[in-house]
């Protein structure tokens, strides 16, 4: 196991965040096989869902992935620098005014979400005297990003608006894919297929992680994010391998009598003699304050409920029922791992795995588990 050089050494960190690249690669292959013959891209926005966009990008490039999605042009900069030239990096949030030249110079591929964005990208291409690559997004029913049916009709009537633009992809996004039985999934797929006919021969992409598992065709490209990182793509049993585990180290314990207040606001008052252990991870590390009094951690596989409020840099847990052999300064404390999944933590905190991952803080020691069996360099014929 190697560590990234910029890392905080384990003896200085309150917890170690272990990132299993072998599981990441396996999750990519599972989705790719599930979505075939559609190709699989990788969504690596928000620093690769908190794990490191360059790290994730390079790992999945080695698995044959060539299409990557970030949210903002600023996120494309380190990714383009880290990946070989054959990688295509799409910018989901589109083209804000003033970003055109920089985007073109960078080689990022904007997802054009409106006629205005198409006009500015086309003008930029003409000014530079070259074709510029882009994706176009249509709104198939989420009402967030993309051309409305009215805008699409205008574009079809005036196709010269796409002058100078090399259209690599037409895409849309599902609102309810994590609820497979939702009627909206079928409605959006049908509407998307119809809208995409405006761009004959251009590859189509609709599905995110959850969509990639829906029992139907997947157009030409899928855009998984969360499932790559081990989050459950839909409710029920999670088919993905865990990519992230988080293990803290116990700082200190104290035994207090019944009737003792614990933590900020003394919101918890003990009802029995209690052994309180302090764990050096708090909300500044992305451990949600909403876990105050509801979540738990595990010592030697034994559950230790969180007592009182989660502080900025620490939290207190009840280890009264944990065998003493597991309780000592420096003892390992599982926050995310075999006894408590990422989705479990998210559920306890009243949020989703995406938010837990993207908030993972900068104070952890990061340990990288490499890909075990190197991929057979699958040079896929994937001209998008």
CB of 24 to ligand PLP, least distance (A): 14
Residue 362 Cβ vs ligand PLP, minimum distance, rounded to whole Å:
22
Token pair 């979400």 in the structure block, residue:
113
Contact 365, 13 (CB under 8 A): yes
Sign of the alpha-carbon dihedral angle for 278, 281, 282, 284: positive
CB of 381 to ligand PLP, least distance (A): 24
Q: Smallest distance, Å, CB 70 to ligand PLP?
A: 10
Residue placing its CB nearer to ligand PLP in the complex, 223 or 366: 223
What's the closest the beta carbon of residue 209 comes to ligand PLP, in angstroms? 3
Rank residues 45 and 366 by Cβ distance to ligand PLP and give the closer one. 45
Contact between residue 188 and residue 231 where contact means Cβ atoms under 8 Å apart: no
Q: Output 141 or 225, the one with its CB closest to ligand PLP.
A: 225
Binding site for ligand PLP (CB under 6 A): 43, 45, 92, 173, 208-209, 223-227
With respect to ligand PLP, which residue has the nearer C-beta, 316 or 353? 353
CA distances to 302, 310, 322, 348 from 269, rounded to whole Å, are: 22, 15, 19, 21
Active-site residue identified among 28, 45, 61, 229: 45
Closest contact distance (angstroms) between CB of 233 and ligand PLP is: 7
Q: With respect to ligand PLP, which residue has the nearer C-beta, 46 or 87? A: 46
* Distance (Å, whole) CA 203 – CA 135: 10
Q: Exposed, middle or buried by CB within 10 Å (0-12, 13-18, 19+), for 195?
A: buried
CA distances from 31 to 183, 227, 247, 305, 375 (A): 23, 8, 28, 35, 15
Burial class (CB in 10 A: 0-12, 13-18, 19+), 372: exposed
Name 278's bridge partners.
Answer: 252, 316
Task: Count other Cβ atoms within 10 Å, centred on residue 218.
Answer: 23
Residue, CB closest to ligand PLP: 225
Closer by beta carbon to ligand PLP, 110 or else 308? 110
Does residue 264 carry a catalytic annotation?
A: yes
> Of 264 and 354, which has the nearer Cβ to ligand PLP?
354
* Selected catalytic residue, list 126, 234, 264, 354: 264
Nearer to ligand PLP, 45 or 268 (CB): 45
Question: Looking up tokens 């295509």, which residue turns up?
Answer: 88
Taking the complex as a whole, the smallest distance from the CB of residue 228 to ligand PLP amounts, in Å, to 8
Tokens coding 20:
């299993």
Q: Is 45 a catalytic residue?
A: yes
In this structure, the number of other CB atoms found within 10 A of the CB of residue 126 comes to 14
Count how many residues are written for the chain. 384
Just list the catalytic residues.
45, 264
């Amino acid at each position: 196991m190697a560590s990234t050089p910029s890392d905080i050494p384990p003896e200085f960190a309150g917890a170690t965040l272990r990132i299993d690249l072998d599981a990441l690669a396996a999750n990519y292959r599972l989705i790719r096989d599930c979505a075939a013959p559609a190709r699989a891209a990788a969504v690596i926005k928000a620093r690769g869902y908190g794990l490191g966009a360059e790290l994730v990008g390079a790992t999945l490039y080695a698995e044959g992935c060539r299409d990557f999605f970030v949210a903002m042009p600023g996120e494309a900069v380190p990714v383009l620098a880290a990946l070989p030239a054959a990688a295509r990096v799409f910018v989901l949030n589109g083209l804000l005014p003033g970003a055109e030249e920089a985007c073109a110079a960078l080689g990022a591929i904007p997802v054009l979400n409106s006629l205005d964005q198409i006009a500015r990208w086309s003008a930029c291409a003409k000014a530079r005297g070259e074709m510029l690559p882009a994706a176009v997004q249509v709104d198939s029913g989420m009402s967030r990003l993309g051309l409305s049916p009215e805008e699409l009709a205008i574009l079809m009537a005036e196709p010269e608006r796409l002058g100078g633009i090399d259209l690599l992809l037409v895409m849309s996004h599902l609102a309810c894919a994590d609820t497979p039985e939702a009627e909206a999934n079928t409605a959006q797929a049908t509407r998307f297929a119809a809208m995409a006919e405006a761009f004959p021969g251009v590859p189509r992409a609709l599905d995110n992680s959850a969509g990639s598992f829906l029992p139907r065709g997947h157009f030409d490209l899928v855009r998984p994010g969360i499932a790559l990182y081990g989050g459950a793509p839909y409710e029920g049993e999670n088919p993905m391998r865990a990519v992230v585990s988080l293990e803290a180290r116990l700082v200190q314990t104290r035994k207090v009598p019944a009737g003792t207040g614990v933590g900020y606001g003394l919101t918890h008052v003990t009802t029995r003699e209690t052994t309180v252990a302090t764990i050096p991870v708090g909300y500044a590390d992305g451990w949600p304050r909403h876990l105050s009094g509801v979540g738990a951690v595990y010592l030697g596989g034994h559950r230790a409920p969180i007592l009182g409020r989660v502080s900025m840099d620490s939290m207190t847990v009840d280890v009264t029922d944990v065998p003493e052999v597991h309780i000592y300064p420096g003892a390992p404390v599982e926050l995310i791992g075999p006894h408590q999944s990422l989705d479990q933590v998210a559920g306890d905190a009243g949020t989703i795995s995406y938010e837990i991952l993207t908030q993972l803080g900068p104070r952890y020691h990061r340990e990288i588990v490499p890909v075990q069996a190197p991929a057979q360099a699958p040079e896929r014929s994937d001209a998008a």
